[in-house]
Amino acid sequence: MRILILGAGPAGMTTAQGLRELAPTRSLEPDITIISGEPFPPYSPPAMADHFLTGREQSLYWLGKDVCDRLGVDYRAGVDARTVDPDGRRVVLEDGAVLDYDKLVIATGSRLYAPIDGYDLPGVYNFKSLTAARDLVEHARRGEVRSALIVGAGFIGVEVALLLNSLGLDVTMIQRRWVMPRMLDPETAGLVLDELHRRGITVLENTEAIRFVGERRVTGVELGDGQTATADACVAATGVKPNIDYLEGSGLDVDWGVRVDNRLRTNLPDVWAAGDVAETFDRLTGERFVHAIWPNARAQGEVVARDMLGYAADYEGAERMNSMKHLGLPIMAVGEAEGERELRWRRGDLLRKIFLADGRIVGFRLAGDIRGAGTYRALLLRGADVSGFGEDLLDPRFGITRCVDLVNA
Ligand SMILES: Cc1cc2nc3c(=O)[nH]c(=O)nc-3n(C[C@H](O)[C@H](O)[C@H](O)COP(=O)(O)OP(=O)(O)OC[C@H]3O[C@@H](n4cnc5c(N)ncnc54)[C@H](O)[C@@H]3O)c2cc1C
């Protein structure tokens, strides 16, 4: 059986790992080929910032540089898939190579989504891939870039700001609303903002970036009030979009991402999709979306491997979950950022917020002290009625002290 995996991120690599672990028990040793558009061993995007700061490679190449050899995978790096032909069961690569498959996994992740004019001007960088991030960091290290404007203060924007600030750049962020608006409520975001200010990063909140400006090279960003902010370089951190352009004409059912069922099968036979490229469903609400985070990509890769080998493999659904590592202030955000009722506790930079609806936890935000996160998440996923606990829920030791009550809940 020839299995072709497009993409070597956590979704594609977890699929390959799962196939190698599970296939022998089915008396199968499939031929596995993995294609990666980038010329590196499989790497972890969340580890890029740490890698650039410390030079360490262990967490960047999270499975080891030799993982494909160990898994017995034919790894072709530095070449994109150009077209998928499901009738002929073949994929054509950018270099003209034609690869036949029996089973295909689409795991090509996501790329920068920049709905703002001028994003393609030279000097506008992004941090969405190791190739793009290296480009930016190398310019900064060579001293060619001393100041940067970052459009977008979401999760990736804040990570880039912290990195560039640590590399000695003068950093300004431009953000339409408050920082990390998709992940944090305004109060928790305020703590992140304070930390950014403490490090000397300027954040222009409630500010619209109209376009990147410049003739042959970007010189700045035109703002909603008509002013233009200037810097040596600009970074677009305006969001991500599934990598699906090459699938055009393939007959795959595609909306924002590749649509899949609860076994992550696409509408075409023997074709699965997983990770940032796949449009799955929310574990709690059932709503269809692409929630581009690492744990979802890993979980989906596992489901694909199981389903391909004929094991029970219903996907439980994607979660909304994020943590902030490099800020110096631990932050954990899970589920909704509002509810019918809000439980809140704050002492300085320590903040705990739990959002409830119908007596159940629908989301929580923890800053400074993230103890209890595992308990809250478990209660949220179980849909447990926590109305009887009242403000006790806010106690960081809640899971320990009320363990018996919880088991019986
Ligand atoms: C800077 C940064 C920080 C992040 N931090 C966190 C974090 O702290 N926590 C968290 O949960 N998530 C984080 N994420 C998100 C997380 O990295 C992604 O959700 C995850 O990597 C998605 O995995 P994936 O396998 O779907 O795609 P990716 O990891 O994006 O891998 C996609 C692969 O497909 C390849 N590819 C693309 N197009 C083609 C093509 N046409 N042909 C062949 N190959 C192709 C790429 O080269 C790559 O190998 C972060 C992302 C970034 C960029």
pLDDT tens digits for 346-397?
999 999 999 999 999 999 999 999 999 999 999 999 999 999 999 999 998 8
Q: In angstroms, rounded to a whole number, what is the distance separating the alpha carbons of residues 192 and 329?
A: 8
Quote the CA–CA distance of 118 and 272 in Å, as a whole number: 35
Average pLDDT, the chain: 94
pLDDT of the residue at 10:
98
pLDDT of residue 7: 98
For the Cβ of 157 lying below 6 angstroms from any atom of ligand 1, the answer is no
Ligand 1 atom nearest to CA at 296: 19
How far does the centroid of ligand 1 lie from the alpha carbon of residue 9, in Å? 5
Q: What are the DSSP E strand ranges found in 61-219?
A: 73-77, 81-85, 90-93, 98-100, 103-106, 110-112, 124-125, 147-151, 170-174, 202-204, 209-213
pLDDT the model gives residue 406? 61
What's the pLDDT score for residue 403?
62
Q: How far does the chain reach from its first CA to its final CA, in angstroms?
A: 48
| Cβ 303 vs Cβ 274: under 8 Å | yes
Q: Going by CA atoms, what residue is nearest to atom 30 of ligand 1?
A: 109
CA pair distance 26, 102, nearest whole angstrom: 17
Q: What is the arrangement of strands in the sheet containing 288-289, beginning at the earlier edge strand?
A: 258-259, 278-281, 288-289
Q: What is the rounded CA–CA span in Å between residue 404 and residue 395?
A: 16
Mutational test site, ligand 1, from 83, 293, 334, max ligand atoms within 8 Å of CB: 293
Q: Is 45 in the pocket of ligand 1 (CB under 6 A)?
A: yes
Report pLDDT digits (tens) over 313-322. Answer: 899 999 999 9
**Ligand 1: distance of its center to the CA of 377 in Å?**
24
**Ordered alpha helix ranges (H), 111-264:** 130-141, 155-166, 186-198
**Ligand 1 close to Cβ of residue 109 (< 6 A):** yes
Residue 354: DSSP 8-state? E
Enumerate residues 6+ apart whose C-beta is below 8 A from 341.
355, 356, 357
- Cα–Cα distance between 257 and 148 in angstroms, integer? 31
Are 13 and 67 in contact, with CB atoms under 8 Å apart?
A: yes
Q: What is the pLDDT of residue 276?
A: 98
Residue 246 CA: nearest ligand 1 atom is 41
What's the pLDDT at 28?
79
* DSSP designation for 399: H
Q: What is the pLDDT of residue 398?
A: 84
Give the C-alpha separation, 185 to 223, whole Å.
24
Taking the CA of residue 82 as reference, the ligand 1 atom at the shortest distance is: 41
pTM equals 0.94
Nearest ligand 1 atom, CA 108: 34
Are 73 and 64 in contact by the 8 Å Cβ rule? The answer is no
Q: Is the CB of 242 under 6 A from ligand 1?
A: no
10-residue mean pLDDT profile of the chain (409 residues): values are 97 97 83 97 96 94 97 97 97 98 98 93 93 92 91 94 95 95 93 96 96 94 96 94 97 97 97 98 91 96 96 93 87 94 95 96 95 94 92 87 62
Find out whether the beta carbon of 10 lies less than 6 Å from any atom of ligand 1.
Answer: yes
